């Protein structure tokens, strides 16, 4: 099996061109850490994360992200929330462009999840600020599938780090919402490399341990 961001698919037997991440292990490792940080934000800070992303509804609890279908394949979604009205919010984090294959994968997740759990599913794709024209619609035959895209194009990681530094100099501690923003810095705009943003964010999080519960630290 071959694993990608947020899912697993059967490994192709024919020769395919390597992606930039496969050619450059350092880039692949960077994306892995970025994805882990974003999933952490989703797992422990749902109450603060959804308003920050502009997603409507109130989180009731976390839903399963693993679905086993008839072909004995496991499909892993990035993150699922259950709203108080019973609908599921499915989050996917994408560091690069949304492809047609991505939309097919998201559609498959939705169909399997909706059928197994008998729920309405809405997919939000959280994109990097560098994605200029994200693909949101998949048309095949008479069917149209659509996702909602959230881009942090208006968020600048440099400004966030600067504000938190100035607050610290004045003796002000970051809020829990600030901690969520720190975990989202890889998707924001800014001059720092993604690796540098993650390191700076982790340093601030380490110094803000009193805001994080024991469960969130695990």
Pairing of strands 148-151, 121-127: parallel
pLDDT(125) > 70? yes
User: In the predicted model, is pLDDT for residue 16 greater than 70?
Assistant: no
**Local structure of 49: helix, strand or coil:** helix
Look at residue 108 and tell me whether its pLDDT is greater than 60.
yes
Lowest mean pLDDT: which of 76-80, 84-88, 138-142?
76-80
Half-sphere exposure of 134 (CA within 13 A, CB side): 24
* Predicted pLDDT of residue 73: 41
Task: Tell whether the model's pLDDT for residue 7 goes beyond 50.
Answer: no
Q: Write down the pLDDT at residue 87.
A: 93
pLDDT at 123: 94
> Which pLDDT does position 104 carry in this prediction?
95
Whether pLDDT at 66 is above 90: no
Q: What is the mean pLDDT of residues 154-165?
A: 91
Per domain, the residue ranges of the chain are: 2-9+20-217
**Distance separating alpha carbons of residues 124 and 92, to the nearest angstrom:** 6
What would the mean pLDDT of 19-34 be, rounded to a whole number?
49
**Per-residue model confidence (pLDDT) at position 180:** 84
Measured distance CA(171)–CA(99) in Å, rounded: 45
Contacts of 18 by beta carbon, 8 Å cutoff, 6+ apart: none
What token pair was written down for 141? Answer: 């035959």
């Amino acid at each position: 099996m071959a694993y990608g961001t947020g899912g697993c698919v059967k490994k192709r037997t024919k020769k395919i061109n390597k992606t930039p991440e496969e050619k450059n292990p350092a880039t692949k490792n960077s994306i892995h850490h970025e994805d882990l940080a974003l999933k952490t934000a989703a797992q422990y800070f749902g109450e603060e994360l959804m308003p920050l992303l502009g997603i409507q509804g109130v989180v009731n609890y976390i839903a399963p992200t693993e679905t086993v279908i008839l072909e004995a394949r496991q499909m892993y979604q990035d993150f699922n929330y259950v709203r108080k009205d019973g609908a599921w919010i499915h989050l996917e984090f994408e560091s690069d462009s949304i492809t047609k294959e991505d939309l097919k994968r998201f559609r498959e997740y939705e169909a399997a999840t909706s059928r197994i759990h008998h729920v309405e599913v809405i997919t939000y794709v959280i994109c990097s600020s560098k994605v200029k024209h994200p693909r949101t619609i998949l048309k095949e035959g008479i069917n149209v599938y659509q996702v909602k895209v959230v881009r942090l194009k208006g968020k600048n990681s440099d400004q966030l780090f600067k504000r938190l530094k100035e607050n610290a100099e004045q003796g002000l501690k970051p809020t829990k919402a600030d901690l969520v923003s720190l975990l989202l810095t890889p998707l924001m705009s800014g001059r720092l490399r993604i690796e540098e943003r993650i390191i700076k964010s982790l340093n601030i999080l380490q110094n803000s341990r009193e805001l994080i519960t024991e469960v969130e630290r695990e």
